[in-house]
Homo-oligomer: A and B are copies of this chain.
Amino acid sequence: MEKTKIILDENEMPKKWYNVLPDLPTPLEPPLDPRTKEPLTPEALEPIFPKELIKQEMSDKRYIDIPEEVLEVYRLWRPSPLYRAHMLEKVLKTSAKIYYKYEGVSPSGSHKSNTSIAQAYYNMKEGTERITTETGAGQWGSALSLACNYYDIECKVYMVRSSFYQKPYRKSLMNIWGATVVPSPSSDTEFGRRILKEQPDTPGTLGIAISEAVEDAVAHDNTKYALGSVLNHVVLHQTIIGTESKKQLEQEDTYPDIVIGCCGGGSNLGGIGLEYIKDKLEGTYDPRVIAVEPSSCPSLTKGEFRYDYGDTAEMTPMLKMYTLGHTHVPPAIHAGGLRYHGDSPIISKLHAEGLMEAVSYDQKEVFEAAVQFARTEGIIPAPESSHAIRCAVDEALKCKKTGEEKTILFNLSGHGHFDMTAYDKYFEEMV
């Protein structure tokens, strides 16, 4: 009897995060000071991040221990299940085996809790009393609200305006866990007030929300800023996804030919993919690793690989990454979590080095796959994660044509329980 869920026991949960930095074929270009354009010193980041996270951001250690206190919270939902998509395979009539790692089992409903818990923990250790952040679709804001609640830290979330109104219940969720949420641009920061005056009708962007959250953190005592994607330490904390998935696939006596993740800032893709990129770099295996992005915000597939600001107000360090330009305003698409102008420097480097592919899909194709998935596997996927589903389905259909029995692994990074307006719109547009 083939299994549906491949489960690890709590004591099989990885106790280390995998840091790809020392393994990269060429060193990552350093972040630059936004004013001087000189490489940043770690000290320059201390007004906004705790020291331990800055250390992780630049670490050359291959493995970093996960603190016992973080493991304790992880155990609320980790190890997360790996599913064999029997029902989807049957409907597709594919010869491929499709597996998905389901990160929607975390209380906040996505992979974001893997890093929010770690970030809040290190902040607590260093005495931070308040954390500010931005959120797009709301997954990151929810995850950080829950994490701050655990470590008794106040949490203020700047939520991209279009998502704030499209997803009112994400705000309710953050409120339940004790956070304060405002639509961005807001009147709570100087930069927000400026944007509100210049572009009163803007749907907002992650870039603007980041600027507001950083300004707020710098302006207040004992306040730090937390980012939910892009940075090296964030990607690091997500690697537990891939490490678990490899152990689970070993139980199935298989190894993936293709590893797929949606890509906004790049953290869930790095989370599922770096464990397998490690094997490519070591030469033991050679799986394809695919980033999937929306065609309306195609940073990897159509952006330029160059230094750019992480935010709109040019307050953050400059990062070498694929970017559409830091003033780019993508349309208010349903997958708000993928509306970022840039990409993780790690993901960008791997793509530039030819170690990772990138594809893009438009919303309609993505929601078609989402509904097909919901009607077979049952789970309602987040619009972001549905990009990965679309790609997995297409790869499985290719196998159907060729008769190949490939093993496809994708990361189902979150559920879509707070994205019903997006589904409603998809159905309306179909009529």
Contact = CB atoms under 8 A, between A and B. Distances in A.
Interface of A: 1, 3-5, 7, 9-11, 72, 75-77, 87, 105-109, 146, 149, 168-169, 172-173, 175-178, 371, 374-375, 377-380, 417-418, 420-421, 423-424, 427
A178 B108 CA distance: 27
B420 A169 contact: yes
Contacts of A108: 378
Given A5-B10, A423-B176, A427-B175, A107 B378 contact: yes
Contacts of A72: 4
B7 A3 contact: no
A215 to B, nearest CB: 28
Contacts of A375: 149, 176-178
Contacts of A378: 76-77, 106-108, 146
A10 B9 CA distance: 13
Nearest to A7: B7
A419 to B, nearest CB: 9
Contacts of A418: 417
A76 B423 contact: no
Contacts of A146: 378
B7 A9 contact: yes
Given A4-B75, A75-B4, A380-B107, A172 B11 contact: no
17 contacts: A3-B10, A4-B75, A5-B75, A7-B9, A105-B105, A107-B374, A107-B377, A107-B380, A108-B378, A169-B420, A173-B380, A175-B423, A176-B374, A176-B423, A177-B374, A178-B375, A417-B418
B107 A176 contact: no
Given A76-B377, A375-B149, A172 B420 contact: yes
Given A7-B9, A417-B418, 20 more contacts: A1-B10, A3-B10, A4-B10, A5-B10, A5-B76, A7-B7, A76-B377, A105-B105, A107-B374, A107-B378, A107-B379, A107-B380, A108-B378, A149-B375, A169-B169, A169-B417, A172-B421, A175-B423, A176-B423, A177-B374
Contacts of A109: 417
A108 B178 CA distance: 27
A255 B178 CA distance: 35
Contacts of A1: 10-11
A149 B421 CA distance: 21
A1 to B, nearest CB: 7
A168 B7 CA distance: 34
Max count, chain B CB within 10 A of own CB: residue among A146, A169, A175: A169
A417 B172 CA distance: 10
A106 B72 CA distance: 24
A75 B175 CA distance: 34
